[in-house]
Structure formats: structure tokens, C-alpha cells
């Protein structure tokens, strides 16, 4: 793999040079006032990115999976029931994690390529007259299939059912790249990771936790030590951590948020939509289509490209890596071999994406797929030429 080429996997993402430099710092006493001064801007920045009015931001040395585990162990007890739809590899993994912790997961099986089924969620909650369901688990952006779900719609369904369950959202591949409204959507725990939209190396689980979820900690009896929110919040009050934090990554997080806010969060979201739309136009020009079942489900951070009959998406990914030194994502689970994935989130520009589309086309030609060289690149070029904002052109 060439270190000169950008990566087009849905995370970890490309890291800006200034973010790498911000992470590269001398040893700092994490129990000193100097750490507290470094940590506070990172926490407050995450709060703004999440659009979070109340509650706490908790940053744990971990990944998104650790964030999932922290969410359930701090708020639930063995035998509790949670409601989740399974429609991709990452919604499946969250379900598996809950089951391993002794939770009763009420699963709504949903075809891969679809999003969270709002009507089925509402019906399940209305049927739960005893109030056994303690939390609804929602994957905002299903990275395996390139599908985004309607979190505001899930909140509407919960309210229509008159149910008091908490709402936990996996926003690992959406937060800081796609609009997210913690307060407006009534989210109780949002889980993000440092290596996606925040453009950092992997190593931080980033959570927003509502007052309702914090109150649930008082009765939750699932075991937790490293992920214990009570320990974290008690240490936060003293300006520190209950154990050694990832100081360099936290410094990088604060700087990453500075970059996002300098661009403007609405501009960040618009850029991701523009980049994604160019990729989608390329996919259609190739005679293919996204795996997501409909336009309203298309993700702005990753496109799972459904490959032609008789073609192998994994073979394309392997050829791109070995011949051209470029990384794309393989299909996972039920879609293994049936798709290849183009990640288009984090530090990316139109020019960078065009290089990825070009390499993907060369791989298709090398593998004998029925694709005309230049077709997808031209479609994306035509779209980008008409949509790159004047401010971006001036800055270049």
C-alpha cells in the first residue's frame, strides 16, 4: 500500500498534517492543570458538534466498539430488554455485544440495504405495554451497506408509542461528517470514534450522554470498571481521568474540531454530500448502483457499490491494493464479494476522490468487468465542476 495515496475506506480516514502534528506532543502530566486546560476545549467542541444542550461528553481511550460497551454497561442490568433492528454488519455487532452481556435483545430483522424500520419500531414499542424495553439501539449510518437511517424518525416513532425507553445511537461513521442533532432528536447516548469524521487515528471512543442516561446509571448493575461513567465524571470534576488518558489524541481532537469549525459544520456536511453525490453519479455511469435500496437511504460517508453479476468486489479491492497501492473497503457479512465500498468522509476533496474513482475503473478494466474507462470519472467531474462553491475555488 502506498503511503502517498489517500485511502477510500470508511475509516480510519485520511489525517490532516496539522492534526498529526497536534497529536505529536511531549509527555504531559495528566493530573496537572495543564491537562485540564487541554481537555476542556476538546469536550466542549464535541458538545457543539453533537448539538448537545444538556448532559455530559465522555471521552474514553478505546474505539467505537468500546463506546457501545460503555453505553450498555453503564445504563442497563442483566436480563434487561433492548430493541434493535438488524440490517447490516454493524447493527449486528451491536446486537451481538448486548447478547454477550446477558441482555435480552428484541430483534427486528430487516433486509440489508434498508434502514431502520420506523413502523416496526413503533409497533414493537406500542406492544410493550409492560415497559420492558429499556433502550432502542439505532445505527445512524450502516457502514457495511452505505445506508443512513432516520434518527429523528425513530424519535418520532418512540414518542408516538408513548414509550419511555432510552435512545442509543451508533454515530461512529456519521458524526462530524453528517448532520447530527443530539438534543433535537432526543438521543440519550451517541457513540462516535476518533478515526472517522474527526480525522484522528483510532483510539478514542467519544460519547454524548443525556441526563436521562446518567440517571439510569444509579440502577444499572452490569459490571464495568474501565468504562465506568461514574469514575469518569468524578475525575472530570477534578480536571482529570481515573486512569491514564490518551493525551496526544485528545490534543488532536481539540485541533480537529478547530478545523471543522473553521470550515463551518454546515459546510462540512455540504462537502460530504457533494463528494458522495459525485461518487454515486460515477457508480451509475458504470452501469451499477449503490447497495442502499433507495435515494433517501444513501449515505454521505460511504457508498457500497453493488458489483455486476459474476464479478467479485473483494477481487477489486485486493487488486487496487496490490497493483495501485490504493485502499477501498471490502464487503462484509451478507454482502461479502457482492460489493466494494468507497469511503468518502473526513479529509477529502473532489480531486482526491477523482483519483480513487480512476483507480477503481482501472481495476475494473483489469478484471474484465463491463465498464468503459473514464465513464465514472467523467460523470463525477461534470457534477463537481458545477457544484464546487466559489469560496473553495478562491481558497485554492
Looking at residues 109-125, what average pLDDT do you find?
98
**Per-residue pLDDT tens for 138-164?**
999 999 999 999 999 999 999 999 999
Region for 350 from its dihedrals, namely left if φ exceeds 0, alpha if ψ lies in -120 to 50, beta otherwise: alpha
pLDDT score at 391: 61
Predicted confidence band at 6 (pLDDT cuts at 50, 70, 90)?
A: very high
Residue 394 has pLDDT above 80, yes or no: no
Where do the domains of the chain lie? 17-261, 264-395
Q: Which of 253, 345, 355 is nearest to 302 (CA)?
A: 345
pLDDT score at 288: 98
pLDDT score at 95: 96
Q: 176-193: b or e for each residue (b if 16 or more CB lie within 10 Å)? A: bbbbbebeebbbbbbbbb
Three cell numbers, residue 191: 457513540
Looking at residues 242-269, what average pLDDT do you find?
96
pLDDT score at 317: 98
Predicted confidence band at 1 (pLDDT cuts at 50, 70, 90)?
A: low
pTM of the model: 0.95
Q: Does domain 17-261 have CATH number 3.40.640.10?
A: yes
pLDDT score at 2: 64
Strands (E), 121-197: 133-139, 141-142, 147-148, 166-170, 189-193
- On the question of a cis peptide bond just before residue 246, with omega within 30 degrees of 0, the verdict is no
Please give the CATH topology (third level) of the domain spanning 264-395: 3.90.1150
Better-predicted residue by pLDDT, 240 or 342: 342
120 Cβ neighbours under 8 A, 6+ residues apart? 85, 108, 110
Looking at residues 296-321, what average pLDDT do you find?
98
Mean pLDDT in the chain?
A: 95
pLDDT score at 396: 39
Looking at residues 234-246, what average pLDDT do you find?
89
- Strand 147-148 versus strand 166-170 pairing type: unpaired
Cα 22 to Cα 5, 38, 57, 318, 355: the distances in Å are: 22, 11, 21, 33, 28
Q: Which of 260, 236, 205, 246 is nearest to 49 (CA)?
A: 260
**Per-residue pLDDT tens for 22-53?**
999 988 888 888 898 889 999 999 999 999 99
CA distance 202 to 199: 9
Amino acid at each position: 500500500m502506498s503511503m502517498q495515496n489517500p485511502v477510500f475506506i470508511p475509516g480510519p480516514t485520511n489525517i490532516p498534517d496539522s492534526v498529526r502534528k497536534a497529536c505529536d506532543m511531549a509527555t504531559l502530566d495528566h493530573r496537572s492543570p495543564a491537562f485540564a486546560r487541554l481537555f476542556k476545549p476538546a469536550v466542549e467542541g464535541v458538545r457543539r458538534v453533537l448539538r448537545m444542550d444538556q448532559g455530559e461528553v465522555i471521552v474514553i481511550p478505546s474505539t467505537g466498539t468500546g463506546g457501545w460497551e460503555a453505553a450498555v454497561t453503564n445504563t442497563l442490568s442483566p436480563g434487561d430488554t433492548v430493541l434493535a433492528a438488524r440490517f447490516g454488519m454493524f447493527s449486528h455487532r451491536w446486537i451481538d455485544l448486548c447478547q454477550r452481556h446477558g441482555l435480552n435483545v428484541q430483534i427486528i430483522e430487516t433486509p440489508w440495504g434498508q434502514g431502520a424500520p420506523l413502523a416496526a419500531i413503533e409497533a414493537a414499542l406500542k406492544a410493550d405495554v409492560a415497559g420492558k424495553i429499556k433502550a432502542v439501539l439505532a445505527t445512524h449510518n450502516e457502514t457495511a451497506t452505505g445506508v443512513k437511517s432516520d434518527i429523528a424518525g425513530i424519535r418520532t416513532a418512540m414518542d408516538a408509542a408513548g414509550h419511555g425507553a432510552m435512545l442509543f445511537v451508533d454515530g461512529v461513521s456519521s458524526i462530524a461528517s453528517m448532520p447530527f442533532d443530539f438534543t433535537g432528536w432526543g438521543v440519550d447516548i451517541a457513540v462516535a470514534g476518533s478515526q472517522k469524521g474527526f480525522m484522528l487515528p483510532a483510539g478514542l471512543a467519544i460519547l454524548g450522554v443525556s441526563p436521562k442516561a446518567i440517571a439510569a446509571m444509579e440502577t444499572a448493575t452490569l459490571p464495568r470498571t474501565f468504562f465506568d461513567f461514574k469514575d469518569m465524571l468524578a475525575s472530570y470534576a477534578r480536571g482529570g481521568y481515573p486512569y491514564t488518558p490518551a493525551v496526544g489524541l485528545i490534543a488532536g481532537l481539540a485541533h480537529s474540531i478547530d478545523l471543522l469549525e473553521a470550515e463551518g459544520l454546515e459546510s462540512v456536511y455540504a462537502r460530504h454530500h457533494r463528494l458522495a453525490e459525485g461518487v454515486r453519479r460515477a457508480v451509475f455511469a458504470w452501469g451499477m448502483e449503490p447497495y442502499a435500496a433507495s435515494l433517501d437511504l444513501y449515505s454521505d460517508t460511504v457508498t457500497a457499490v453493488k458489483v455486476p453479476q459474476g464479478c467479485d468486489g473483494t477481487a477489486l479491492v485486493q487488486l487496487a491494493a496490490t497493483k495501485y497501492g490504493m485502499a477501498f473497503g471490502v464487503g462484509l457479512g451478507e454482502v461479502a464479494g457482492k460489493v466494494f465500498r468507497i469511503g468518502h468522509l473526513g479529509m477529502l476533496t473532489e480531486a482526491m476522490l477523482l483519483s480513487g474513482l480512476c483507480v477503481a475503473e482501472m481495476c475494473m478494466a483489469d478484471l474484465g468487468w463491463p465498464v468503459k474507462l473514464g465513464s465514472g470519472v467523467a460523470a463525477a467531474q461534470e457534477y463537481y465542476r458545477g457544484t464546487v462553491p466559489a469560496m473553495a475555488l478562491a481558497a485554492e
